[in-house]
Chains A and B, each alone.
Chain A
Amino acid sequence: QLQLQESGPGLVKPSETLSLTCTVSGGSISSSSYYWGWIRQPPGKGLEWIGSIYYSGATYYNPSLKSRVTTSVDTSKNQFSLKLSSVIAADMAVYYCARLVVVFGNTVVGYSDYWGPGTLVTVSS
């Protein structure tokens, strides 16, 4: 059974960089059938796609966050990571990592079939 687990600091100061890692177990991150994504949910609000990364390192980001987001993948550790720079209060959210299923070619993703439990990141000085 595939499992994903987010890890990282739960508290980040304004203007600093949020860093999270997602560890994948029970399956390989190097499969050509999947992207690996980050999705966040501010308290009491809806879901927002942040970005996706392929095992090859190809990345796609939400245009509204693109200037501040960096993702990376470490196939040797079966992990992928998120960095969000210059955080503000509005970046406070539960951050989820998820597996995204490729449905066409190697760029069209259709849906997220596995999610991590999520980790709350608070932005405060």
Chain B
Amino acid sequence: QSALTQPASVSGSPGQAITISCTGTSTDVGTYNLVSWYQQHPGKAPKLMIYEVSERPSGVSNRFSGSKSGNTASLTISGLQAEDEADYYCCSYAGNSALVFGGGTKLTVL
């Protein structure tokens, strides 16, 4: 069970759209539509932003969207805002009731 691969950092200007990738394998991301995304501000607990690849929890802005193709999932944030600056983590079900996280991506809003 290896960590999912995310870019260490991404950046964008206010109003722009950015995409964060999350690459796994055929034993996790590629097999299960159970990818979730979490936003974490410094010193805070992670917050669920996307579940089951593309579903948004109640209260999460529709500027956040998710998708998946093969072994790679993606989180897109449109209309970037200063408050979106945070760390983002993907997570996938990996079989046998196990979960695996990505290494995290630091989003900087320029």
Please report A residues at the B interface, Cβ cutoff 8 Å. 35, 37, 39, 45-49, 52, 60, 62-64, 96, 100-101, 103, 107-113, 115-118
- Contacting residues, chain A, for B99 (C-beta < 8 A): 37, 49, 52, 100, 109
Interface range, B side: 20 to 34
The verdict on A62 contacting B98 (CB below 8 Å), with A46-B3, A47-B89, A47-B104 known, is: yes
Q: B1's closest neighbor in chain A, by CB?
A: A63
CB contact list, B79-101 vs A, under 8 A: 89, 91, 93, 96-101
Residue in A37, A115, A118 whose Cβ sees the most chain B Cβ within 10 Å: A115
CA A63 to CA B1, docked complex, whole Å: 8
8 residue pairs bridging A and B, Cβ less than 8 Å apart: A47-B91, A49-B91, A49-B99, A109-B93, A110-B34, A112-B48, A113-B48, A115-B47
Question: Binding site of A, secondary structure by majority: helix, strand, loop or mixed?
Answer: strand
- Contacting residues, chain B, for A96 (C-beta < 8 A): 45-46
Smallest CB separation, B6 vs chain A (Å): 9
Please report B residues at the A interface, Cβ cutoff 8 Å. 1, 3, 34, 36, 38, 44-48, 51-52, 57, 89, 91, 93, 96-104
Residue in A48, A109, A112 whose Cβ sees the most chain B Cβ within 10 Å: A112
- Contacting residues, chain A, for B36 (C-beta < 8 A): 110-112
A62 touches B1 (CB 8 A): yes
A48 touches B101 (CB 8 A): yes
Smallest CB separation, B13 vs chain A (Å): 26
- Contacting residues, chain B, for A60 (C-beta < 8 A): 96-98
- Contacting residues, chain B, for A39 (C-beta < 8 A): 101
- Contacting residues, chain A, for B101 (C-beta < 8 A): 39, 46-49
Q: B51's closest neighbor in chain A, by CB?
A: A111
